[in-house]
Structure 1
């Protein structure tokens, strides 16, 4: 176990897993926004993560590590060892955005995550600090993805017509040239189905429920707070 408690072991492992997590998030985000094909690549994430981990252990500044991450990530995406594999028809803008987000997302959080980890045997505190920092950031990313992705899918599908959804259900991009036609579903919802009146009814019921609850609970709480009973002045530290 002590042999594994080494910066040259912990840092590359954490960096590879973090790079793969960032590649998943970037791939899903670009696929949703552009409708093009993106998927994470395992070998490229290993190469990118190990390189960034070694640079961080050597004490490189955060900015330089981020620049190397963007350049290396973009260069690897042009090879079969791509950390993000792109499909046919991916434009230059989407490709550049993917390389930039992958490099910055992998490098910028990695430096404070591995800060204090030596390039050699590490103490238990140093190893636990690096692992806890990784778990904290990974948890935030997973939680944000679980919240944002369903909300994004819900909003994007509500802005598309039924014909567009039937034609390509997995295309979550929107056509901004439609103008106000994008909000046709919302206009029909409030104009034809009186959804606004239902919202006001829910608001009135919620407010009245809170007021009635407070009307009965506040006097009861005040009466209990003012209640005097035998043994009230006794404390656990002394006998009655």
Structure 2
């Protein structure tokens, strides 16, 4: 029986780089949420593994073992046809590939497949949190995932189309031993309260990413100057940035205004949960 599953965009509301292990893996402390937009997958069991990619951002996405979805399915011992509808820009700091792989694993599990406990982390640091696909605190190298309760957040996601290699961003990072988030995350009563607390936190990759792709600075400037913006920050290692707003209407208005000024940018008004 075929299974259809959503692969929502992953947004790092915070991303503190707190250290680096001897094996080179960076230690992180990140508050992660998921948007009500993303890619979609359809899995149909069969005798051979195949992957078909379509959608707005299908161009340049491999449809073989280079794709994380393919690798996830193969590692889980699943065979059949996978159709991937690619609606998120790839290499954009919003976990597109990781969320796709996690969605594939969830679909395989729903069909009775056995997912090895260690597999998600082997596929990538973001895959375990994408398996949860809900507001979470992610620590360590991605293996520590703890659910958190947050209010729904109205946001605008913007990607200028810049290519930002993750390795280059980490190489430009001035310090790899930075303070984590506070031990306890408050119980927020509103999106405004949450945004005010988030403003005291960081994405330690934002400054180095801007040195790699200066367009990110322009996106952040436009978001911060948009009407009713509560907070603007980059997600992950870039280049997608987000702004939070008090209402869904304000987020959609910002999407209209920024999209009209920069039609070449990808803009999406979303709710983050």
Which bin holds the TM-score, normalised by the shorter protein?
A: under 0.3
Q: Which has the larger radius of gyration?
A: 1
Normalised by the size of structure 2, how large is the TM-score? 0.25
Structure whose residues are more often strand by fraction: 2
Structure whose residues are more often helix by fraction: 1
